Structure formats: C-alpha cells, structure tokens
Amino acid sequence: MRQALQRVGGELVIVPPKTQRSARRIPLPRECVTALRAQRAQQLADKRLAGEKWRGDVSGLIFTTKNGTPIEPRNLNRSFEALSARAGVRKVRFHDLRHTCASLLHEQGANARTIMQVLGHSSIRVTMDIYTFVRLDEQRDAIGRLGDALNEDNDPTDS
C-alpha cells in the first residue's frame, strides 16, 4: 500500500499512508490477484473508450470511475450494499471486511503478529480485541477438545 484516498476541502485527494507501518506490501491470495488483473484489464478498456477524457494516469489506482478518477466512497458503499444484498449477505459496512479478514486468518491458524502486520496495525491488542471474532462453533470445538483432554487424564483404563 503506497497511497491513500482522503477528502481535503470537499475533494478526493491521493495522499501518503497515515503512518510508516501503513506503507507496506500486502500479500494476496491467488484468487484476489486474478480478480485484480481482470479489473486492470477492464480499466485499460475503459481508458481506451474514454480517450482524452481519461484522468487516471496520475493515481495508479486500479478501481476508478469510467474516466479514471477515484471512486467516491459513498458510491463504493452503495455498490457494496447492493452487491451484498444480491448475494444474500447480511448487511455489513465495507470496512467490516477488515474484521472478516482478521477473523478468517485467525480461524485458519495465523498467529496474532501475522494478522497484525497484514492489517497494518501497530498493536496486537487492537488486532485481537477489536478485529478478530471467534465464532460460536469454534468456541464449542475448543471446549470439546478441552473435554477430550480432561477425559484422557481420567481414563480408568490407564490403571
């Protein structure tokens, strides 16, 4: 991540990331890389169609309007809500995807420091206390394993 989008004086402006930690490389799953490449190809087609109206060469953004300008955050949120509704996904904010990412990484066994670095946090506490969520079935599974461990120690066949 090399830049951020921020509203300054009512206008969207490309600015450096908030902190040094925010400026980072973010590893992505193959599926995301494939989707990003497809989006870049679509953007190049949009650029050809826009001709001289194209305004996107300065920013290097992959997700832009049809003429290359940054997408208005309100429009992104509206599109996200519409796509979520069509997919039958409960209503969540776009930002909540960071929480989903953290929780999925945690469920898959990623350690807290790795999750913290992926999200660009400066504190493991923020990552674990605010961004990760442990599902009820995962809690039940952990308690089941605890029960198994307790039963192993008290197994009368060990005598």
pLDDT at 18: 83
Nearest to residue 117, comparing CAs of 22, 46, 43, 49? Answer: 22
Specify if 46 maps to a domain.
no
DSSP 158: G
Residue-number span of the structural domain to which 128 is assigned: 92-147
Which is nearest to 130 in space by CA: 114, 112, 111? 112
Mean pLDDT (whole number) for 94-106:
92
pLDDT tens readout for residues 13-64: 889 988 877 888 889 999 999 999 999 999 999 999 999 999 887 778 999 9
- pLDDT tens for 15-29 read 998 887 788 888 999
Judge whether 85 and 77 are in contact, CB under 8 Å: no
Task: Return all residues near 37 (Cβ < 8 A) that are at least 6 apart.
Answer: none
In a domain, 110, yes or no: yes
The whole-model pTM stands at: 0.74
3-class secondary structure, 76: helix
Res 20: pLDDT: 78
Report pLDDT for 134: 83
The rounded distance, in Å, linking the Cα atoms of 56 and 65 is 9
On whether residue 133 sits in a domain, the answer given is yes
Structure tokens at 124: 């493991």
pLDDT at 40: 94
CA 108 – CA 110 distance, rounded (Å): 6
Position 40 in a domain: no
Note whether residue 140 is domain-resident: yes
- Rounded to a whole number, what is the largest CA-CA distance in the chain? 85
The residue-averaged pLDDT of 74-100 equals 93
Q: What is the pLDDT of residues 104-121, one digit of tens each?
A: 999 999 999 999 999 988
pLDDT of 156 above 90: no
**Domains of the chain: total:** 1
pLDDT bin (cut points 50, 70, 90) of residue 158 is low
Residue 159 has pLDDT above 70, yes or no: no
Distance CA(54)–CA(46), nearest Å, equals 8
Residue 23 within any structural domain of the chain: no
